[in-house]
């Protein structure tokens, strides 16, 4: 039971990381100190998608699932509703590259929007 809970916790962490990679620029609007963390997360997400590597969070989750005696993801709420978001069926190499490009485009757009919204501080300094 404990290992199954750990596997579910890693899955939720993975989902949170994916959401942060995709839309973390919106958090940077509120908390500017997150900028380097978010840019690093975006770089990692793009690397994983472009290289075809497997994220360590995936390995951690599968490790805990094996320890829990689980062979697959069917049967529980998290497995049924969240796994298809993180591990979509039929994910191809081209789809991975498109996801990586989409992450770059989305974040470039969000940061461009943030920069346009930023108040001009030059007039305050004069």
Number of domains into which the chain is organized: 1
| Structural domain boundaries, residue 21 | 2-119
| 54 has pLDDT over 90 | no
11: closest CA among 72, 96, 86, 91? 86
| 61 has pLDDT over 60 | yes
Q: How confident is the model at residue 67 (pLDDT cuts 50, 70, 90)?
A: very high
Q: Judge whether 126 lies within some domain.
A: no
| 90 has pLDDT over 90 | no
CA–CA gap between residue 123 and residue 126 (Å, rounded): 6
pTM of the model: 0.72
Q: What is the pLDDT of residues 9-19, one digit of tens each?
A: 998 898 899 89
Q: Judge whether 65 lies within some domain.
A: yes
Find all residues with CB under 8 Å of 10, minimum gap 6, and list them. Answer: 57, 60, 61, 64
Q: Judge whether 124 lies within some domain.
A: no
């Amino acid at each position: 039971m404990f290992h199954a809970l750990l596997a579910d916790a890693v899955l939720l962490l993975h989902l949170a990381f994916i959401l942060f990679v995709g839309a973390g620029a919106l958090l940077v609007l509120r908390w500017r100190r997150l900028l380097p963390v978010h840019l690093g997360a975006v770089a990692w997400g793009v690397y994983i998608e472009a290289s075809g590597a497997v994220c360590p969070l995936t390995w951690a989750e599968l490790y805990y699932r094996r320890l829990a005696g689980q062979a697959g993801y069917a049967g529980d709420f998290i497995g049924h509703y969240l796994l298809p978001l993180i591990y979509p069926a039929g994910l191809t190499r081209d789809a991975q590259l498109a996801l990586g490009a989409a992450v770059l485009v989305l974040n470039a757009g969000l940061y461009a929007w943030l920069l346009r919204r930023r108040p001009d501080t030059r007039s305050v300094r004069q």
